[in-house]
Amino acid sequence: MSAVEPPRIADRFRGFLPVAVDVETGGFNAVTDALLELAAVVIEMAPGGELRPGANFRYHVQPFHGSRIDPASLAVNGIDPHHPLRPAMPEKEVLTQLFREVRKAVRDAGCTRAILVGHNASFDLGFLNAAAARTDIKRNPFHPFSSFDTATLGGVALGQTVLSRAVTAAGLAWDPAGAHSAIYDAERTGALFCTICNRFRFMYEEAIERAPELAAPDGEPFAED
């Protein structure tokens, strides 16, 4: 009698690996405004099938040449982009390092591609894509337009669309002092995503029983070019 294989995250999301991402920026325009901080948390699956936050990565980013930085944005995120002790790196170096780590996580999980998890995900994905285009990086492991939005998930599952309120409503810890730090917001976004997905697991399992032919991963192939 063969042992039952543990569940795989590759099967849970059609071959996509969720990665929670948060960016802190100099404004709202992904094309003109500076990317200042970038953090990512890889979502993994425990042997019992529960989702949980895994490895995390954080980068301070040098504003690209000619970028716009709105003082109002700095007042919110508390970043001094020109502080002499700030360990910031150029955008291309940051994305090269992050994308390498994400590609490895995708391969290790048996997935085909990463998919961004964000709170108001289009904002984070927009800045990520704009920086990749600006630095001419071709090997972007993230799906170019699809994402999982925890603002939507929080509204549906918990009646809350603000990150701090959704996290609190989910029964998770929230530290106001940590808010608007890219790594803290990415970690809380990842934890919120896992909590909601785990609580809706019964619906996923019912769907697999109802339509088993849809269970096979069919995500877009992971490009190694």
Q: Which residues are catalytic, by number?
A: 180
For residue 197, CA distances in Å to 9, 50, 113, 153, 193 come to: 12, 8, 19, 9, 6
Contact 62, 44 (CB under 8 A): no
CB atoms within 10 A of CB 34: 24
* Adjacent-strand bridge partners of 20: 41, 117
Residue 27 CB-density burial (10 A; 0-12 exposed, 13-18 middle, 19+ buried) = middle
CA distance 78 to 200: 36
CA geometry: angle at 183 spanning 224 and 23, to 5°?
Answer: 65
The DSSP 8-state label assigned to residue 40 in this structure reads E
Between CA 216 and CA 56 the distance in angstroms is 28
